[in-house]
Every structure is written in structure tokens, then in C-alpha cells.
Structure 1
Amino acid sequence: MSKNRQKSLEKNLDEKADSGESEKRPDGSASEQEKLLAGYPGAALLVAADGSVLHSNAKAAGLEALIEHDAAPEIKNLIEEARSQGSVAAGSVSLNSAKGVIVLEITVIPGLGKTDEMVVMARDMTMERNLRTALVESRQRYKDLVEVSSDFSWEVNPEGEFVFVSPRGALGFQAEELINRKAGDFVISPEKFSPLPFVSERPLDKVEIWMNHKDGSTACVILSCVPLMAEEDGKQLWKGTRGVCRNVTEERENESALTRVRRREQRLNYIVGAIGDEVEPDNMINVAATATVRALGVAGCRIYRRGEENTFMSAAEHGNTEGLDELDAKLATLDSSDQVVEITVGKWRVLATATNYRQRVNGALSIWKAASGDGWKDDHRLLIGDIANQLGIANEQISNHERIVALSRTDGMTGLLNRRAFYEEEIPRRVKRLEHSRQKAALFYVDMDNFKLVNDIQGHQAGDDALLFLRDMLMEMSRPGDVIARLGGDEFALWLDGISEKVSEDRAARLIEASRKMRQFSGDDDHPLGISVGVAMFDPENGESIGDLMARADAAMYEVKNKGKGGYHMAPPGSPNRASKDNKTAKEKTP
């Protein structure tokens, strides 16, 4: 059929369908047949065996046009099928019209009237088909949205048993594994809910519950539900509940992990802040130990520093340390490759790790709690590592501070205390201690004789060797608790605690005797290198000031210089005024 004829037919079909016109047949029995066809609510017509239309009702104009113009071959095929098989034939026909696709349901019934005549009935199924399609699409859309927005949907009966679970199953179970099982059996601590969401008789939205997973783990789900109600004897009775659940376990775990990270940061910031607020470097480790115990809620903490012999030395501790005598030995093998070690010492469960600075172990950190309690958590292991990193920096800062202090207190060449450290730190501290113990002490002033000629004639290297020789000699003549200082140039001082005047004089005589070996460094034979020693005794009973004591020792030393050098002189225990006067007189006579 040509396109123009098709369009003409579609227009004719629409017009006839709208007008309801039907051609009159000249057959004598038309009135009786028309009555029969008119009783059918849709389009109906009577056709002969060859398919020609004999009679039609008022609504069959469009159907008649289809048959006459052979626009719907399917209809003629149904007519032929009914005629040849002598039984009802039915089928559907889709037609294009100006109003869209029209769907007709065609039924052909043979054997009415004359045996070769058949009734053709048509029912417009367009609206019903469209509604059915729309309904199917809507149901599929709703199903898809439910499945996307939830992990599983469910329904329980009045006994609280699952009667439906979405095909994908839930909580690691297949759907069939959950059917007829009580929903409450999967809820953790169901007694905390009133009512239990799965059997709620009122709508609930976004209720968070924890449930048991098939693999033994727990799952957090967000539940929303509506009750199923039915009216019986005028009353609304609860018949079950249906709803959806969304698994938010991963989200909750992520939130929990983030919370733990923030809590660790807060604790670490507290410890770092406490260390940073401490002005005195020597006290930083003590503050860190105290802050660690408080921040981590442990029984105790001990912080170590690594000494020159690579051994750990306890630098600070806080908390209960009872029964931890073996801890230091157990940590001796810690090195930078160790992460965090857990050991048991007596009644304590200990967590320890090394502190590092630039890949070098410079100490260790240990915390402990009762072994009878719970084990260490991951947060503790992470925190002790973070704290150790900060302590590694703190240990290095303290070491640097100690090196700076040592440099500021010691003489660069000899390694002895310098003038400032000797006068301002050591002597005042020792005098105060002696005032408490009421013991005596001796202050030696030692000055090298003819030292300038050594440098001028032998050179500065010989001068340095002579200074180091005198240092070694003073160290050999002193005890472990004595103090030796280089006051500058060729001047030295020696402080001896708890010594009598007689012993001091013997020590001075031995020094002079030993100093004869220094002549090997002399500038020339006429000016031998030696020492002059002035000794002043300190007696706390006299109430003498440190300045007066030093003046007496200095005056005694100059007394030797004035008498020809190379000897010692014991300063008289006179008054401070007398010592000052002697000091002035001695200096005036110095060549």
C-alpha cells in the first residue's frame, strides 16, 4: 500500500470512528442482524466467508474501513483462521493514527446466522494497554528506587517472623534463610528498644540499630518502617510491619575511626603543649612523663635517654613504678627497626618503643598498666609511636642544650671548668653545702711561671702541650669529688672539699715536686717552667665571704711570685680586710 493511500485510510479511519457512521446493507434480514450486532458495546460486524462485510453496528465504521481497504491484514487472517478451524479466533492489531498508536483486540466467532457467516468484534485496548504499561513501569521504578536506597526490604507477620526479604538477602544471609525466623533474634540488645522496630505498630524513620551478621561480625543498619493494619469488627488490628534497612556499618566505622584520630590528636597536642610550655630543657622530660600518664590514662610512664655507651638511662618517670626493676634490662635491645613492643614485667603489661632523631635511636619510651586488665588497644600503639617521635626531638634538644651548657662552662682546650662556671656556679654551691655540713675546704690558686717564654721561644704548640701537661698533673693530684678549673691563660684553680690544713699543705708540696717535670717545656734554662701555688683554707665557722676567700688565695699565690716563684704559700686565716690588703700589697710587688 502506498504512503498516500495509507495516510488517506488513517484519516478516513479516524473520521469514521469519530462519526460512528455505518453503511446500510440491502439484505432483507438486515434488521435482525443489526439488532444482534447493536447489542455489543464495541465495534462489531457480520462478514461473509470471503471476508466481505454484510452488516455492522454503529461503532464499526472504522473496523469496516480496515477490512474493506485491507489496511489490517491480521483481521483477515483471523477471519480465515476462524472459518477454516470452525472455532473462535482472537488476536490484537496495532494501528498508527493521527492520535498515536491504536491497539484493537479482535475476536472472530464463526457459525452465527448462516454457517459461512462470522461475527467480527473489536475492542479498543489502547487506554488499558497504556495504563498497564505505565503501571508496570511505575512498579519497576519504585522497586528500583527501593533497592537503590536500601540494602534490603522486609516484612514480618504478627509473630515478628520474616515473611518477605528482598531477593538479595540481608546480613550475609540468603533471603530464604531468613524467612520464618524472628527478626528480633538478629538484633543486638533488643531490650533497649521499645518497641522493637521490626514489630512496631507505628511508623518509624531512620532508627539506628546494630545487628548480628552471618559471619559473626556486627552490622549497623538504619531502619524505616510502617505498620500493616487491617479493620476487623470496626477496629484497626496490627497485622505486621514492613520496611527497609540500609547498612551503614562502613560509614559508622569511618566516623568512629575519625573520632579516634581526633581524640589521639587531642591527647598528643596536650603532651606536646606541655613539653613546649616548659622553659627549662632539663625539666622537659619530667613534664612529658607526667603529661603522658594523664593523657593516656595509664598506670605509669618512664622515659629514657641513650648515653655515650649506647645504654638506656632513665631520665624521668611518673606513676606507680613498683615491681618494674627488670624493665630497664628488657628494653636494652630496642633499636630503630622496632615498632612497638609489648612485654610483661611482674604485674604490669608494658608497651615500649624507641625514640629516634634522624634515624638514630636517642632514647626510649615505656608505659604500663595492670596485666590483669584489658590488653592494649590500637590507639595506644599509635599514640605511643606519635609521642616517641616528639620525645626523640625533645631528647635531641636536651642533648644540644647540654652541649651548649657544657661549652659555656668549660675551657675549650683543657675541658676543665672555665672562670665563670667556677666562680659563679661551683664555688657558691660547694660553699653552701659546707656551711650546712660544717666541713672545711681548700682553694688552690695555681699560676704557671715563665709561661710567656714558652710561647715566644718554643712556639704556641709547646705552650698548649705545657697547659695540657699541667691539667693532667692537677687531675692526678685531685680526688673524684674535687673541682679543677682553668681561669684563663696560665692560671688554674683547684677546690678540695673536706680537707684539713695539714693535708692541703702536703698536697701543695707534692704539686710543687711534680711540677719539676714541666721544665721540659721551658723557653730556656735560665727561666724554667714551673708553678706558684697559693692556698687559702675555707672554714664555714668564720663566716668568710667567697670574695674574701678568693682574695686570700690570690694574695698567697703572689706571695710566692714575689719570693722567686716555684713554690707554695698557705694564706693566713686573717679577716677579709687583711686578706684584701695583702692581695693589694702582693700585686703591687709583682714584677
Structure 2
Amino acid sequence: MSSGENESVNKLLEGYPDAALMVRGDCSVIAANEKGMGLKALLEHGEADAIPDMIAKAAAEMTVVVGPILFKSIKGEILLEVSVIPQLSSTAEASGDFLVLSHDVTMERNLRSALVESRQRYKDLVEVSSDFAWEISPEGTFSFVSPEGALGFTPDEIVGHHPEEFVIDAEHYQPLPFLSDRPMDSVEIWMKSATGKDACVVASCLPLMGEPGEWHGARGICRNVTEDREREAALRSAQEREYLLGYIVNSIRDELDPLNMLTKAATATSQALGASGCRIYRKTEDDTYNMAAEYGDVENTDGIEDLLTKIGDQIGAHPAEIGPWRMLATSTHYRQAINGGICIWKPLDDEGWDDNFHILIGDVANQIGIANEQIANHERIVNLSRTDGMTGLLNRRAFFEDELPRRFKRLEHNGQGAALFYLDLDNFKMVNDIHGHQRGDEAILCLRDMMIEYSRPGDAMVRMGGDEFALWMDGIPQDVMLKRVETIMEASQCLREFSGDPDHPLGVSIGIAVYDPSSGEDLESLVARADAAMYEVKRAGKSGFHVAAAAGET
């Protein structure tokens, strides 16, 4: 190549902003610009293997060959985009020389990689931070929704539709985030899901504005917080139930008298639950339900007992309709045994009982079950303390300290009379001595049965100890009293079969003192007269009765 041609080639190469070489077909370098000196050195040292291949291809096909070449350096990888251009002679034939042009695209590649990574990072963050992203077109319809769709809908079921079609009571939102002309953050919206269930989402949006201030749509994200809101609502309900149950339990616990516990419980339950009324039952040994306490409007509530019987040992609260009332009833238990029931009610016009009421009445029933058992235990203890273990009649303490003073005081107010019978078995010791105490116990029970048979439901009977008994009869006229004692004496003939021997027949001596409220006699004097009358019979030969003289008479 002549000097003139070299000068032309150098001038041509210097005008290229990156590395440029003129090479022959054997890859020897004819010329290179200043930036191409490094590439020239690589080519001459055989460290740019791809360039000879490109030259060979360009020579064979007589076409421009372009391709990337990656070089490794101390500072890292360098990516060049190399073009090999065959040169033509003045006669348009191949001259055998090739122009090699390179362009450093390392920065572009790094920037592109960084941009792709940034976009992927942003995409991942959007997807992680929300359930779906969306965009609204200038026409006010969805133009984009995340590929996974939203609320169970596919993108095709959403795109092209107005957001108002998916928002519940869209007119209540001013503005609706999907159509907002200003940025909005964390706005709660209730939307319809594909399953038909309401869904709560938190929406954030940015409007797309044109010039001058023209609304071109909006973009944003939504996060489904339905489960969060349901958990929060469940927690609030649990806290409310805990508060109400605490109020009811405290009302029961603060009552010292066991018999008033259920009254307090019925009142507190009805008031705490906003019910029109409440009734609590205790179950008897014959499996009937007896009302123990009630509160509120109790008209037209017949049938609750049948409802509780029908419920039986079924678990949970059971709603029902009785008359004008919407009922909610459940059994009460103690140690897995039914011991009563509780029922609340409200008007039929009100809404049905929701899950909160079902849960709460169940919790209350658990406490009532314990209270019922406490009351039953209390009654058993009281009964044991007031009754004779063998006969089941009142014992001496209960009769003289509780029953008799109470009845005596009542008669002082209403002016009615009464009669006190003192009964004592004759020759009873012989029964025990000859036939044994078992036979003596049978004789005692026989007298007990006779007293029960010839007394009235409201009369009070007591075993004072051993073979001594007493009977109190309210409001009994003198003639009726005499007939009654004569009947008892006739019936007492049955006691003879228990006699120790024929010479000592078992019988009963009865002393009677008649009480007249107008006499002003006190209880001690009345008891003393009955006791003295009974001993008068003993002195007269036993097995008979004697009526004591009236108070103040001898």
C-alpha cells in the first residue's frame, strides 16, 4: 500500500470515535487509530480469536459481519460490538482488506442489566406488598390488572369493566380511589369477590395527569385485608363476650345467699345480652325442669320446659320461636350431667341470634351449671342439718329453733289457732331389748308413716330424739283436732306387732296443747303444756291422749 493510500486509511480510521483497524485477510494489521491500538495488540497476540473468524466469514460471504466479543481484564469484563466490513477496489472487486470497527457496549450492557434488575426488583416488591396492581384508563375502566387477577377474578373478567361494578356501595366513597384525581393511601374499600363473599381491601393510588391538569386515569395497588379484619372482629367479639361474661359471673359470685344466685344471674344475663327476658331452670330427680329464676317480660313464654326437654343433652344453644318471642336456649351441665337450663328471648321482629350470642349463652350456661350444683349442695347440707337421718322428719333443732318460731309468729299476725301434738312410744325399750334395735327402728318408721298419713301437706313433723315425736297443725278447729287424734290412736294399734311381749304392748301416748293467739301465750308455755299433757297420759296408764287445759287455766 502506497504512502498516499496509508495516509487516506489513517485519516479514515481517525474519524471513527472508537477502536478501528484496517487488516488484511491474514489478520495482519495495516493501520489502526489511536483507540484501536489496544485491539491491535490483542489481535496480534492471538487474544481476540473471534475477530479472525469474523474476517473469514466476511471474506467468504462478502458481507458485513457483526457480533459481540467479550474480553476479560483486571477491571472486569469488557464487551465490544465488532463489525468487519470487506473493502472493495476501484473496480468494485474485493481488495482483500477488511475494516474492523468496534464499539464498547460494556456500560450499555451494565446499565441494561441494572435496569432489568431494577424493574424485576420493583415488580417483585409490588407483588409482595399487594395482592394485585391495577391501572384505570381515561375512559374510567380497568386497563390492567396483575396477571394473577384479583379477588378470585381473572384479568379478562376485570379489564374493560368499571370499578364501580366490583365495589360495594361505591357512591359512599368520595372519591373512589380507582377514579381519584389525587394521590390516596391505605383507603379501606369493601369489594365483591368471585365467590360472592364480601372482601375488604386497602387501596393506594396515584392519578395519571396530562396537560393542562387533565385526568388520564390512575394506577395503584390493593391489599386484601379481609382475614385481618375478620380476626380483628373475632378478637373484639371475644373481648366483648369476656367482658359480658365477667359481669354476669361477678353478679353471681357477689351474691352470698345461694338461693339468690340464680335471680341475680337471670337479671344480669338479660341485661348484658340485651334480651327481653331470661329464665333459669333446675332439673329435678324425676327429669322435670322447675323454674328457679326469671327476669324481664315473661308473658307468653309457656313451652320453654318442653324446649329444654327436647334439647336434652345436645351440645350448643338452640334457637326457637315461642309465641311472640325469638328464643335461645341451652342445657346447663355439671360433670357432664344435665342439671338445668337457661333461656333468653327477644321479639320476633328483631334479628336472629348470631354466633356471638350462641357462644356467650353457652359460656353463661357453664357458670349456671356450677351455680345449680352449688345450690343443690347447699340444699343437701341444709336438709341434712334440719332433718333426722332415719325418718327424714325435721330434727329437734330445726323444729324448735326455725320452724316452730316462724309458724308461731305468723299465727300471731293472722289470728288463726293451731295444735301441738307430743307423741311418745310406750314400752319401746322392751322392743329393743327383746327384738333388737333393727326391730325398734322398724317401729320408729311405722310411727313416722302413720304421722305422715294422718297429717296434712302443710303440717310440721319432728323426731325430737329416741321415741319422741311432735306434730304441729296450723289452723285446725277443736273438733277436727279431736277427730284427728282419735284416728291416730285407732291407727296406732298397728304398733302392737312390734311389742316386746304381750304384757308390754307397744303403743303411743299423745299430749295436745291448743294454741289461741288471743291468749298472748308464748311458745315456751305452749310447748310446756303439750309436754305436760303427754306425761299426764303416761301417768294414767299410757296408750291414750290428753288435751291440755287452755293457757291460763289449771
TM-score of the superposed pair, with normalisation by structure 2: 0.94
* Mapped contact 1:209–1:222 kept (Cα < 8 A): yes
Deviations 1:343-370 (A, max 9, x none): 2222222222222222222212222222
| Greater shift in the superposed pair: 137-146 or 113-122 | 113-122
Q: Determine whether 1:380 maps to 2:360.
A: no
Aligned counterpart, 1:8: none
What residue ranges of structure 2 are gaps of 5+ in the alignment? none
Moved more, 392-401 or 91-100: 392-401
1:129 CA drift (Å): 0.9
Contact 1:286 1:317 in 2 (8 A): yes
Match of 2:29 in 1: 53
Which stretch of structure 1 is more off in the superposition, 560-569 or 97-106?
560-569
CA distance in 1, matches of 2:154, 2:268: 52
> 1:140: which partner in 2?
120
Are residues 1:552 and 2:529 paired? yes
- Find 2:285's aligned residue among 290, 308, 326: 308
Count residues in correspondence: 550
- Aligned ranges for residues 254-269 of structure 1 at < 5 Å? 254-269=231-246
Q: 2:86 aligns with which of 110, 116, 131?
A: 110
The answer to whether the 8 A contact 2:276-2:346 is kept is yes
> Who is 1:517 aligned against?
494
Could you tell me how far 1:36 is from its partner in structure 2? 0.8
Measure the CA separation in 1 of the matches of 2:483 and 2:27. Answer: 154
- Give the whole-Å Cα distance in 1 for the aligned partners of 2:495 and 2:137: 111
Q: Say whether residues 1:199 and 2:176 are aligned partners.
A: no
Whether the 8 Å contact between 1:483 and 1:494 is mirrored in structure 2 is yes
Q: Is the 8 A contact 2:23 2:98 kept in 1?
A: yes
Name the counterpart of 1:486: 463
* Pairing partner for 1:183 from 163, 177, 188: 163
Output the CA distance in 2 between the equivalents of 1:39 and 1:208: 64
CA distance in 1, matches of 2:430, 2:81: 136
Offset, 1:159: 3.9
Provide the C-alpha distance between the structure 1 equivalents of 2:163 and 2:287, rounded to a whole number of angstroms: 63
Aligned position for 1:88: 64
Aligned positions of 1:206-225 closer than 5 A: 206-225=186-205
Q: Percent identity between the aligned chains?
A: 56
Please say if residues 521 and 551 of structure 2, whose CA atoms lie closer than 8 Å, have aligned partners that are also in contact.
no
- CA apart distance, 1:32: 1.3
Deviation of the 1:474 alpha carbon: 1.7
**1:78 and 2:54 correspond:** yes
Contact 1:112–1:118 (CA<8 Å) still a contact in 2?
no
Aligned-residue offset at 1:523:
3.0
Separation of aligned partners in 2, 1:543 and 1:443: 16
Query: For 2:35 and 2:222, how far apart are their aligned partners in 1?
Result: 54
Q: Deviations over 1:113-157 (max 9, x none)?
A: 563222110111111111111111111111111111111111223
CA distance in 1, matches of 2:297, 2:154: 54
Q: Structure 2 counterpart of 1:185, which letter? A: E
1:278 to 255, 268, 272: 255
3-state DSSP of counterpart to 1:154: strand
Provide the residue aligned with 2:103 in structure 1: 123
Report the CA distance between 1:541 and its aligned residue.
1.6
Q: Deviations over 1:58-116 (max 9, x none)?
A: 11111112222221221111112222222211001001111111111101122255632
In the aligned structure 1, how far is the partner of 2:541 from the partner of 2:397?
A: 30
Separation in 2, partners of 1:194, 1:476: 85
Aligned to 2:484: 507
Match of 2:77 in 1: 101
User: Which residue, 503, 506, 520 being the options, matches 1:529?
Assistant: 506
Counterpart of 1:397, as a letter, is Q
Name 2:145's counterpart in structure 1. 165
Q: Which residue of 2 aligns with 1:6?
A: none
1:22 aligns to what?
Answer: none
> Is residue 13 of structure 2 the alignment partner of residue 37 of structure 1?
yes
Q: 2:304 touches 2:343 (CA, 8 Å); kept in 1?
A: no
2:84 is paired with a residue of what secondary structure?
strand
Contact 1:339 1:353 (8 Å CA) reproduced:
yes
Q: How far apart are residue 57 of structure 1 and its match?
A: 0.9
Cα deviation 1:471-525 (Å, max 9, x = unaligned)? 1222222222222111111111011122122332333333333333323323344
2:385 to 386, 389, 408: 408
**Cα drift, residue 218 of structure 1:** 1.2
Asked if 1:334 corresponds to 2:311, the answer is yes
Pairwise CA distance, 1:470: 1.3
Mapped to 2, the partners of 1:170 and 1:525 lie a distance apart of 105
Provide structure 1 residue ranges, at least 5 long, that are not aligned to the other structure.
1-24, 583-591
Q: Which of 218, 221, 239 pairs up with 1:244?
A: 221
The one-letter code matched in structure 2 to 1:146 is: V
Alpha-carbon distance, 1:268 to partner: 1.8
Deviation of 1:28 (Å): 4.5
In 2, are the aligned partners of 1:156 and 1:240 still within 8 Å (CA)?
yes
1:357-403 deviation digits (Å, cap 9, x = unpaired): 22222212222222233222111222222222222222122112111
1:177-218 deviation line (CA, Å, top 9, x unaligned): 222322233222233332222222332222222111122111
**Which is further off, 486-495 or 448-457?**
448-457
Rounded to whole Å, the distance in 1 between the matches of 2:169 and 2:526 is 83
Q: Residue type matched to 2:475 in 1?
A: G
Counterpart residue identity of residue 49, structure 1: G
1:60-71 → structure 2 map (5 Å cutoff): 60-71=36-47
Is 1:228–2:208 an aligned residue pair? yes
- Matching residue's letter, 1:194: Q
Alignment partners' CA distance in 2, 1:31 and 1:343: 110
Query: Could you tell me whether the CA contact under 8 Å between 2:279 and 2:293 is conserved in 1?
Result: yes
Greater alpha carbon shift after TM alignment, 496-505 vs 32-41: 496-505
| 1:151-183 CA distance string (max 9 Å, x none) | 111122344322222211112222232223222
Q: For residue 212 of structure 1, what is the amino acid of its counterpart?
A: K
Q: Secondary structure at the match of 2:253?
A: helix
Asked if 2 retains the 8 angstrom alpha-carbon contact of 1:153 and 1:244, the reply is yes
Q: 1:448 aligns with which of 416, 425, 434?
A: 425
- What CA distance in whole angstroms lies between the structure 2 residues aligned with 1:177 and 1:413? 85
Q: Return the offset for 1:26.
A: 7.5
The residue identity in structure 1 corresponding to 2:240 is R
